[in-house]
Structure 1
Amino acid sequence: MTQIRQETITKMKELTELHAVPGFEGEVRDYLKEKMTPFVDEIIGDNMGSIYGVKKSKKKNAPKVLIAAHMDEIGFMVTEMTNEGMLKFTPLGGVSSDVWLSQTLQLKTKKNDYYNGVVGSIPKHFRTGNESGVSIDDMLLDVGAENKKQLQDMGINIGDTIVPRTDFEQLTENRILAKAWDNRYGCLVGIELLESLKNKELDVDLYVGANVQEEVGLRGASASVNLIKPDIALVVDCSPANDMKGHVGLSGALGEGVLVRILDRTMILSERMKEYLLNTIEENEIQYQYFQSPGGTDGGEIHKALTGIPTAVIGVCARYIHTSKAVYDIRDYLNAKSLLEHLVLDIDFEKIEYLKYK
């Protein structure tokens, strides 16, 4: 397999360290626009904030292929400033309450100032025995302010956004630790797909980009589908791995390849699409693993839009997603990128028509 480029590692770091919760995806949107512009004919977007680069085919009336990531990551929003200078917050996206105590988080103000803070926990010395199961509603973020007035002087307000404060780190040759690989993976693979196709002529009009607000209910996907009206969609997203005690069923394992997502709570992979994916994988000797997810992706909205859109998820897995840190495998990224490239170069009108049930 092709070795990963240093330029790819650099983009991984840049993307995962951006601050972009649901509804506040501007940093990632600006990054995508900058990186995609050299490789596309135009940049388009919808009124919710999703953004797509368009690479046009020279063929008239070419079918439209959608490559859809999402920009947002899980995080929080400030809901209260206490007299003691603490901040209360509420989740944006699905998070568990048991992983946030004593974690370092980053707050962003509306003036684009950043403050680090720690989620307060009661020292063992002062516990009464009732604090072991603290809910997020009871947590407080300590950014070092002495009182509410100091918070206000710092420019902090209700509605400011919070993400984990996590530095990108390459742990070993193939394993990376970072936040927000769900779903900066999809943003990265979209950028690098366009770069790899810069000198290629396609049989399709290619739309590559990312939606907003996936983590709070797949909200952005509907608007972007209505804008683009694709004939086929390939969703690029990151899913949870459950391999810490061995590979359990179809739950995803690091280093075992791109995910062939046969089922989740929002979409069933069609028989014809599954056949097409597996044929492409086998012809090009791409490492893969079957995957069943308890969650969903933007594919859940996309595949049932308009009169129905043939859709597949070209995914990777990572450990500990929806927490402050995730661990993922570079080789899985490379396998997913390879599959995506081969699919886009192969897709034409006849294949799309075959994937539709008529």
Structure 2
Amino acid sequence: MKKLDETLTMLKDLTDANGIPGNERQSREVMKKYISPFADSIETDGLGSLIAKKEGDANGPKIMVAGHLDEIGFMITQIDDKGFLKFQTVGGWWNQVMLAQRVTVTTRKGEEITGVIGSKPPHILSPEARKKPVEIKDMFIDIGASSADEAKEWGITPGDMVTPYFEFQVMKNDKMLLAKAWDNRIGCAIAIDVLKALKDTDHPNVVYGVGTVQEEVGLRGAKTATAKIQPDIGFAVDVGIAGDTPGITSKESTSKMGDGPQILVYDASMISHRGLRELVLDTADESGIPYQFEAIAGGGTDAGSIHLTANGVPALAIGVATRYIHSHAGILHRDDYENAVKLIVEVIKKLDKDTVARITFE
């Protein structure tokens, strides 16, 4: 592996951490480690979302920048008498990307046990059955145990977390970064680097860098974290669809990796706030920061929960185009990540009381 700089080391630590919805401790601890030097205080909400506060003007608006700590994965539900593990998906999985993939089972004591997702072999299936994707209910996890008792002796128990087995890697083109859990440790990294960029900078507001929990199962942590913060403006930073691979048409996505952060104008959870969106676009144009538009009819981001909190919060989702999301490994472009940080920082510098009041009703 190539020698990693400070940023790449952080990204490796974030993505290598294992954390499905409801079990985000590992990723929360990594985010806490990296964001602490730039925060005035750190706390959590009742569900476990991390909230780091950076004070500019104590009387200024409260600005929330949220990535989510969880990744899609699985939960052990049963151990059969031969030691094979039945599981439940946690978050959205497509069965075609699952079979024969390695996974990590994390026991209650924190031990990590490697397994593989298996099914009935094709050699004994009918010709018709071979043509069809194996259904998730017919899959199991093989950890090499010979019996249920042996699996239990190893510490396996129903409720244990299962995550993709994959290690962060810089590709031959060193702008391309390959890892599991970009959805959404890249958002957590952006929140960290936004606070880092503001460390010695005056800004007319109070900024909250947030790592929410349980986004992949219904934007849950964003509800509780936003209720605790009560922000005036909210940004969700997440991955988005990269439309630059074979077979994707321009009607499906026009986003290209390396062309800048995505401004999400519409998704199933939220219509982007017009006033905030226009401020972001104007700021990007003034600062020479590239960007691209995206609309996703199916799926949503934490902004969907943020904007419905209390009396309503002007909110916007900003994405980093990523290939192969909701699989074992994704690819994103480092420039898009860095430009997302620059854009949010420049917008935050403008968000004083008067600006927030003006855009709220546009």
Give TM-score, length-normalised by structure 2: 0.94
Q: Is the 8 A contact 1:230 1:309 kept in 2?
A: yes
Secondary structure at the aligned position of 1:146 is classed as coil
Q: Is the 8 A contact 2:114 2:143 kept in 1?
A: yes
Q: Distance in 2 between matches of 1:35 and 1:212?
A: 17
Give the structure 2 partner of residue 221 of structure 1.
222
Q: Give the drift of 1:292.
A: 0.6
Q: Give the drift of 1:133.
A: 2.4
Task: Give the counterpart of 2:267 among 246, 253, 264.
Answer: 264
Amino acid in the other structure paired with 2:147: N
Q: Give the drift of 1:338.
A: 1.1
Distance 1:249 1:7, change over 3 A: farther
Q: Give the drift of 1:29.
A: 1.2
Q: Is the 8 A contact 1:259 1:290 kept in 2?
A: yes
Give the structure 2 partner of residue 51 of structure 1.
50
Give the structure 2 partner of residue 340 of structure 1.
344
Matched, 1:108 2:111: no
Q: Distance in 1 between matches of 2:206 and 2:71?
A: 29
Alignment of 1:162-311 (within 5 A): 162-171=162-171, 172-245=173-246, 248-249=250-251, 251=253, 252-293=255-296, 294-311=298-315
Amino acid in the other structure paired with 2:21: P
Secondary structure at the aligned position of 1:306 is classed as coil
Q: Distance in 2 between matches of 1:67 and 1:272?
A: 17
Alignment of 1:310-321 (within 5 A): 310-321=314-325
Distance 1:153 1:270, change over 3 A: same
Amino acid in the other structure paired with 2:141: L
What stretches of structure 2 of length at least 5 have no aligned partner?
none
Give TM-score, length-normalised by structure 1: 0.95
Give the structure 2 partner of residue 10 of structure 1.
9
Q: Distance in 1 between matches of 2:140 and 2:104?
A: 13
What stretches of structure 1 of length at least 5 have no aligned partner?
none
Q: Give the drift of 1:120.
A: 1.1
Secondary structure at the aligned position of 2:89 is classed as strand
Q: Is the 8 A contact 1:250 1:292 kept in 2?
A: no
Q: Distance in 1 between matches of 2:79 and 2:62?
A: 48
Q: Is the 8 A contact 2:10 2:34 kept in 1?
A: no
Secondary structure at the aligned position of 1:312 is classed as strand
Give the structure 1 partner of residue 32 of structure 2.
33
Give the structure 2 partner of residue 145 of structure 1.
145
Distance 1:60 1:212, change over 3 A: closer
Q: Give the drift of 1:344.
A: 1.4
Give the structure 1 partner of residue 156 of structure 2.
156
Amino acid in the other structure paired with 1:77: M
C-alpha distance after superposition, 1:214-272 (max 9, x if no partner): 00001111111110100111111112223212662462221211101110011111222
C-alpha distance after superposition, 1:75-122 (max 9, x if no partner): 000011111111111110011111111000111011000011111133
Q: Give the drift of 1:41.
A: 1.1
Give the structure 1 partner of residue 333 of structure 2.
329
Alignment of 1:16-95 (within 5 A): 16-57=15-56, 59-95=57-93
Q: Is the 8 A contact 1:32 1:209 kept in 2?
A: no
Q: Distance in 2 between matches of 1:196 and 1:335?
A: 12
Q: Distance in 2 between matches of 1:111 and 1:138?
A: 28
Q: Give the drift of 1:342.
A: 0.8
Q: Is the 8 A contact 2:14 2:31 kept in 1?
A: no
Q: Tell which deviates more after alignment, 281-290 or 266-275.
A: 266-275
Secondary structure at the aligned position of 2:32 is classed as helix
Secondary structure at the aligned position of 1:192 is classed as helix
Distance 1:242 1:93, change over 3 A: same
Q: Is the 8 A contact 2:265 2:295 kept in 1?
A: yes
Q: Distance in 1 between matches of 2:292 and 2:200?
A: 31
Give the structure 1 partner of residue 133 of structure 2.
133
Q: Give the drift of 1:128.
A: 2.6
Distance 1:136 1:259, change over 3 A: same
Q: Distance in 2 between matches of 1:97 and 1:74?
A: 13
Give the structure 2 partner of residue 355 of structure 1.
359
Q: Distance in 2 between matches of 1:220 and 1:309?
A: 16
Q: Give the drift of 1:60.
A: 4.6
Q: Give the drift of 1:306.
A: 1.2
Q: Distance in 2 between matches of 1:338 and 1:63?
A: 20
Q: Give the drift of 1:136.
A: 1.1
Secondary structure at the aligned position of 1:80 is classed as strand
C-alpha distance after superposition, 1:156-183 (max 9, x if no partner): 0011010100111111221111100010
Secondary structure at the aligned position of 1:237 is classed as strand
Q: Distance in 2 between matches of 1:270 and 1:54?
A: 24
